[in-house]
Structures are given as C-alpha cells and as structure tokens.
Structure 1
Amino acid sequence: KLKSPSGTLSTGEAISVMNSGLALAAYFGDGTLRAADLAAGLTGAVIKDPAPDRVVWLEYLETVVKEREGWKDLYRACREVVE
C-alpha cells in the first residue's frame, strides 16, 4: 500500500496546476503543453509538508508513474524538480 501525503489535491489545485502549465508552455515554450511545464506545479501541489510529503511523492513516482506507459517524460520532469 502506498503512503498518503499530508494533504489532498483539490479540484482548484488541479485546475491551477494545469493553468500554470499552459501559461509556461505558451509564454516560455512553443505553446505545446509538456511534462516539464506541469512538473513544478504538480510537485508543489503534492508536497505541502516538505519532510514527509517529499518521501511519499518520491515513492509514488518510483512505484506508479515510472511504470506507466507514456508517462516517462512526466516521471523524469518530476524527478528533476524534486531533486
């Protein structure tokens, strides 16, 4: 069983992560939303209490995200943000 972070990702936070990613893609990228555009916002939304939540997020990245088909870019981008 996976550990849970100290908080939950609300609908508003999920929308904010997506809007932030779209803005980064539009203003600093080529307009195409990429994993790197989402990684910082997603990681920041999940890690609310840095000490325990970082461990939980890393475990989730390693056991779930890393193994998902088509999620390699998201895995790498989130790992870069966390490290």
Structure 2
Amino acid sequence: MQIDMRRIDSSLNMNRFYSVGLTKDLFGQHGVHRQWGRFGTWGRHRNDWYKTQIEAECALSDLVKQKLARGYLIKLPRSEG
C-alpha cells in the first residue's frame, strides 16, 4: 500500500509531495518507506523498521494523519479507460 499526497500553495511558492508506503525486507522486518520533497526533484528518502506489521501500519496511519493536519491532500490515482 502506498499513499501519495501533495501540498500546493502558490502564494507561498509551495509545491511539495509526500509519499508513504509499507515495505518488507528480505529478513521479514516490516517498515514504512517515506519520500518527500519539492516537485521536480528526487526528494529525500527514509525507511523506519518495526517488529510487526501492525506497528508499521499504525506508524503509517499516524504519518498520514500528521500530513493531512498540515494541509496535504491525498492524490487520487488516475483511472485508465
């Protein structure tokens, strides 16, 4: 599962993206992968690892709530057709 968000405010010259998703490594650890930055750049990356999938899902949910509170909007996927 991956959630893409954006925050655009032309009055503040703000054009940001934030992407967060669940991941799992070869050793069975569950994690949350984040990527953020300004549109047109690669941005920054970060992985946080957790012992259980439930902990990772809770962390992902908390991150999404924080970003929504700061004005980010969830980018809906485009439907092909």
Higher strand proportion (structure 1 or 2): 2
TM-score, shorter chain, exceeding 0.5 = no
Bigger helix share: 1
- Return the structure number with greater relative CO, CA threshold 8 A, min gap 6: 1
